[in-house]
Structure 1
Amino acid sequence: MAKIHTMPGVGSALEGPVVRTIGVADLKEALRRGIDDFLAMPTHAFFIALIYPVLGLVLAGAIFGNNVLPLLFPLVAGFALVGPFAAVGLYELSRRRERGEEIALTRASQVLRSPSIGSIAALGALLLLILFLWLATAQALYHTIFGNYRPVSLTGFLQEVLTTRQGWTLILIGNAIGLAFSAIVLSISVVSFPLLLDRNVSVATAVQTSLQAVGANPGPMVLWGLIVAVMLFVGFIPFFFGLAVVIPILGHATWHLYRRVVAD
């Protein structure tokens, strides 16, 4: 395990939690503990995560039915933007297991009784706003490049995107913009939701602490973002059902990452 160092002056500067510096070994340990939590609570985690593949299928069906195929990939990619908020129940399960408390599925709802539930909801609303901005940006980009072209089938849409200059332009610029949105969300939320659940702090303090955590650990946090992106991609491949495993592991692992980044 990498040695963890406390950043001098961070806590006093924020008048809040103290941020530690971490290494790659800490990311591995957070993932290992996330997997361990999932194996210890598979039934609970599965039923919490089951709504996500179902939601994905519903969204995909709605898209096909309304001939708005250009928004399919932005919706799938945008899932990562609200993931930190959606996983709050998983953080609660990991928190309770860490303390040796009961970990029944019903206990995940205890998050609703948290003193910081208002702050959690407010930050979740901010992520939803960012998601809507991403979708609006993606739609505007598509119309700028393709004009009024409306694909009539998934096959035709994929052919247009993957085999034309306009399609590759859309892919390159769209991914660059998506990366910027993802970086913003990672910076403001990587430890903020677990912190709000764990302590009675304000949204401003939680977001400041998250920003400080990224600033103190740029390399590990970029790597963490890549790990999340790759795992979500793998989860999406089998018709979204892989998320039933990926989401719980990432949710539990995020709690343990928070515990390693933010001092007690």
Structure 2
Amino acid sequence: MVQTIGNPASWGAKAVHDGARALGDAAQHMRSDMDVHPRVHSIGVEDLWKALLLGVRDFSRFRSDVIALVVIYPMIGVFLAAMAFERAMVPFLFPMVSGFALIGPVAAVGLYAMSALHEDGQEASWADALAMLRARALGPVLVLGLYLFAMFFLWMAAAYWVYNVTLGPAMPESVAGFMRDVFTTSDGWTMIWMGCGIGAVFAFVVLTTALTSFPMLLDRPVGLPTAVVTSLRVASKNPLPVVVWGMIVAGMLVLGAMPAFLGMIFVLPILGHATWHLYRMAVSFD
């Protein structure tokens, strides 16, 4: 067949048509399938360690693909750290680092897909994971990802407010001076306790809504409402394991931030694969 060069009008019409079809597919995936019925199971703290071991196993199996995927993550961290050492940004270095926990589930979507593909006996490369995401859950994942990024920016706004009412509003003159004010003044300790308390609320909200929702969207056509509600049900039925899991994630992310966020190359894929296996332990379908 002879192909001709189209004019700009035809290009534009085709782009609009393709975009409308993509939006239609995404909207279709937003709805819940009434024939899919998630069943929530009780899990124990010992299941968390089993999920971590399975995560380590998957990380070792997919090492080349995983490192290529998550190397972007520490690069972003280094960039944010460099920004934070500007004088005006010093008070917000820790909030930015801890805020990674709020957007981590978005960065791990490809890892969930790789574990799912391997579980089904299929190829589990990064390209296959992207194809699976586009085919099954692109729309809901994008919406849920926007929610997590909104939570991150709200957290940063809250951290800015906490600094203003304690050590602010003036910016510190140096990193050493800021650290001295934080640990040797009553206002500094007030900032620490207020920040940790508010941060814990943000972390709890994100953990309970995103714990199993991202993996479930990749696993079944459940729709966004069912995925989020099921994640809340998992947290409600297993409060202690979920809290312990949150502490494990926070501790591993702190370790991954040292040195210069390079540890994230190992921490993020292990947590991502482990979250998939934790989802499989906590949720099944009739």
Change (3 A) 1:15 1:96: closer
Match 1:238 to one of 237, 252, 259: 259
Q: Structure 1 residue 99 and structure 2 residue 95: aligned?
A: no
Contact 1:20 1:261 in 2 (8 A): yes
Instruction: Report what 1:188 is aligned to.
Output: 209
Moved over 4 A (4+): none
Instruction: Report what 1:60 is aligned to.
Output: 81
Match 2:238 to one of 189, 199, 217: 217
Amino acid at match of 2:146: A
TM-score of the superposed pair, with normalisation by structure 1: 0.92
Instruction: Report what 1:17 is aligned to.
Output: 38
Change (3 A) 1:16 1:154: farther
Q: Return the alpha-carbon distance in structure 1 between the equivalents of residues 136 and 111 of structure 2.
A: 18
Q: Which is further off, 150-159 or 190-199?
A: 150-159
Instruction: Report what 2:167 is aligned to.
Output: 146
Q: Return the alpha-carbon distance in structure 2 between the equivalents of residues 181 and 93 of structure 1.
A: 28
Deviation at 1:147, TM superposition (A): 2.8
Deviations 1:47-105 (A, max 9, x none): 11111110001111122236211111111011000111110000011111111211223
Alignment gaps of 5+ in structure 1: 1-13
TM-score of the superposed pair, with normalisation by structure 2: 0.85
Amino acid at match of 1:78: G
Q: Return the alpha-carbon distance in structure 2 between the equivalents of residues 15 and 37 of structure 1.
A: 28
Q: Structure 1 residue 113 and structure 2 residue 134: aligned?
A: yes
Q: Return the alpha-carbon distance in structure 2 between the equivalents of residues 107 and 176 of structure 1.
A: 40
Alignment gaps of 5+ in structure 2: 1-34
Q: Return the alpha-carbon distance in structure 1 between the equivalents of residues 75 and 115 of structure 2.
A: 24
Match 1:81 to one of 91, 96, 102: 102
Match 2:59 to one of 19, 22, 38: 38
Bigger radius of gyration, 1 or 2? 2
Contact 2:113 2:133 in 1 (8 A): no
Contact 2:252 2:267 in 1 (8 A): yes
Q: Return the alpha-carbon distance in structure 1 between the equivalents of residues 37 and 160 of structure 2.
A: 39
Match 1:197 to one of 215, 218, 228: 218
Amino acid at match of 2:83: A
Q: Structure 1 residue 178 and structure 2 residue 199: aligned?
A: yes
RMSD across aligned positions (CA)? 1.6
